[in-house]
Amino acid sequence: MALAKAVGLLEAGAVVDVIAPDVVPELEDRPGISVNRREYRSGDVEGYRLAVAATGCQEVNAEVYRDGESAGVWVNSADDPDNCSFTLPSKLRRGPLMVTCSTGGHSPALSRWLRQRLEAEIGPEYETLLCLLSEARERIQATGMHTEGLAWQDVLDSGMLELIRSGETGQAQAKIDRLVENTLM
């Protein structure tokens, strides 16, 4: 669990320091993670913005949470919502697209289950669609025009995703290009 949390933090751009007497090799060998092999000591969270307690020991998680509350540090205690000042959603990434599922810490299993169901529906074609739409938006904005209120929904509902799924990305691009042309006229 600590590995998954650390990797998620790295993906978000965090600098990750791990304090644990034992760690899995994948965690210790991961670039961007520093490992301090020892038990948690009271006050260790001071100076951080955020802490994750993934100890598997409710007493230690509670101590990290209390220390965090005293020091103004947000704490997430894995699978221990009573000792959390925030919860982490289960997330699905497709390039810059991120879809999250959260139960507010009440059932991480349900969050994970929902994410897995969404993974089957939201495939790599969504990343392609996002890139096409982003490029079109940037072209319009480069002219000084606003992109709010344009017919984006009509374009999205025009079968673009199916075109991308079937490998006809050029046709999807043409639909977006028509929106851009109509906007710039």
pLDDT digits over 13-45, tens only? 899 999 999 999 988 888 999 999 999 999 999
Determine the Cα–Cα distance for residues 84 and 73; give it in Å rounded to an integer.
11
Q: 3.30.700, 3.30.160, 3.30.70, 1.20.140: which CATH number matches 90-122?
A: 3.30.160
- Considering only residues 37 and 8, tell me which one the structure prediction assigns the higher pLDDT: 37
Contact 131, 169 (CB under 8 A): no
Adjacent-strand bridge partners of 19: 36
Query: For residue 80, what are its two tokens?
Result: 């221990």
Q: What CATH number should be reported for the domain whose range is 2-88?
A: 3.40.50.720
Q: What pLDDT, on a 0 to 100 scale, did the predictor assign at position 12? A: 85
Enumerate the CATH 3.30.160 domain ranges in the chain, comma separated: 90-122
CA distances from 117 to 53, 101, 102, 123 (A): 28, 11, 14, 11
Neighbours of 78 (CB within 10 A): 20
pLDDT score at 149: 84
Q: pTM, whole model, 2 decimals?
A: 0.71
Compute the average pLDDT of residues 121-138: 95
User: Which part of the chain has CATH 3.40.50.720?
Assistant: 2-88
Tell me the torsion sign for CA atoms 109, 21, 33, 59. Answer: positive
